[in-house]
Amino acid sequence: MRDIDSYTEKYINDDFGIKYMVKYRRKKVLEIMQNHSPKNILEIGCGLQPIFNFYSDFNFYTIIEPSKSFAENAIEMSKNIIENNNGGGGYNKYC
């Protein structure tokens, strides 16, 4: 079993070369999403930048994130998106 706190710290400190991996993975995921236009999205493991920061054409969005700090970050970011979207949508905190 992974030590989530250790993983989170290494991720933040870029001990894995995360910047490059995330950049190319996000590019591929967004390409697929733009081709298929999903309206209901499940993101498993969002790290520091959930996909909703780059793709906004959805009706329902769920993130499963085991890292407490990444989950809290995603919740805060989702509040900003809701405010910028005239109060539409909403967020749920389930961890």
61 by Cβ neighbours in 10 Å (0-12 / 13-18 / 19+) ranks as buried
pLDDT per residue over 28-83, tens digit each? Answer: 999 999 999 999 999 999 999 999 999 989 999 999 999 999 999 999 998 877 66
pTM: 0.76
Give the pLDDT confidence score for residue 95 in this predicted structure: 44
> Pick from 72, 31, 35, 32: which is nearest to 50 by CA?
72
Say if residue 94's pLDDT is above 50: no
CA distance 71 to 84: 20
Q: Residue 43, Cα to own-chain centre: how many angstroms?
A: 6
Contact, 42 vs 62, CB < 8 A?
yes
